[in-house]
Amino acid sequence: VITGASSGLGQALARHYLKLGFTVAMIARRGDLLQPLGKEFPGQSLCYPLDVRDSSSMQLAASDLMARVGIPDVVIANAGVSVGTLTEHSEDIEYIQQIMDTNVLGVAKTFQPFISPMRSAHKGTLVGIASIAGFRGLPGAGAYSASKAAAISYLESLRVELRDSGINVVTICPGYIRTPMTAPNPYRMPFILESADAARRIARAIDRQTAYAVIPWQMAFVGFVLRHMPRPLYDALLATAQRKPRASPSRPQHDTEPPSHRQSRHASEK
């Protein structure tokens, strides 16, 4: 099960597992963007056009897919949104809410329906896609950084809660990946990965049941330095760093919720 399979990393992960012959349940709001992959791998995919913030849609989809193909081996909570936010602008509050709802609550809502069945079966892997942006508060991206920091802590809690249940919890912290999410970034993105390469590395970490992985490894080093940098130095270095652009009516963000996405749709099989 992969959320956010209509674009970027989620689509690359779906393609990776489909190529290996797995049955993949793909979830995203834009059902039309899920369909081409489904057509390319006929009989191997289930498509659920829904919003991960809507727990009843997520529960319906989970029941439907478990009735069709059984308890999933792996559930990847990958759906996420990112846009620059500045708290002084009242219009950014809505974006802050969308980011927290999707990147934090969306992960819990994705996993929730699968935990009891996986516990009964004493097997399964829950994967959360966090980010190195959760290591320190990035200026201009406070909501995104906070959401990923929350995701990292949440996934750690879940991992310990589910110890000895037979369910593994894998936390993935990617650095930069070339996807529509990073396309508007005006700054240099060191060690950026193509989405197919990132998907391969993430799948390897999942196969190994790694509890926690930073991808690529070079970003683990950057992350270590970031995490341990003294606060005054961090503040001085980051104060002038280029920032993620804010959403604006003249430059709509594809990755936050456009008005046409506000209604969740029913799950459908393809």
Q: Which residues form the interface with ligand NAP (CB under 6 A)? A: 3-4, 6-10, 28-30, 33, 51-53, 78-82, 102, 106, 129, 131, 174, 176-177, 179-182, 255
Q: How far is the CB of 93 from ligand NAP (least distance, A)?
A: 18
> Measured from the CB atom, is 57 or 168 closer to ligand NAP?
57
| Residue 33 CB, nearest approach to ligand NAP (Å) | 6
Q: How many CB atoms lie within 10 A of CB 238?
A: 16
The answer to whether residue 154 is catalytic is: no
Query: Which residue type, as a one-letter code, is found at position 120?
Result: S
Q: What is the CA radius of gyration of the chain?
A: 18
3-state secondary structure of 213: strand
**Least Cβ distance, residue 30 to ligand NAP (angstroms):** 3
Give SS3 for 142: helix
Q: Which candidate in 144, 154, 212, 234 is catalytic?
A: 144
Cβ distance to ligand NAP smaller for residue 119 or 178:
178
Contacts of 196 (CB under 8 A, 6+ apart): 12, 15, 16
Nearer to ligand NAP, 123 or 245 (CB): 245
Alpha-carbon distance of 131 to 7, in angstroms, equals: 17
H or E segment at 130?
Answer: none
- The DSSP result for 152-186, as a single string, is HHHHHHHHHHTTTTT-EEEEEEE--EESTTTTT--
| Between 119 and 270, CB nearer to ligand NAP | 270
CB of 230 to ligand NAP, least distance (A): 25
- Catalytically annotated residues: 144
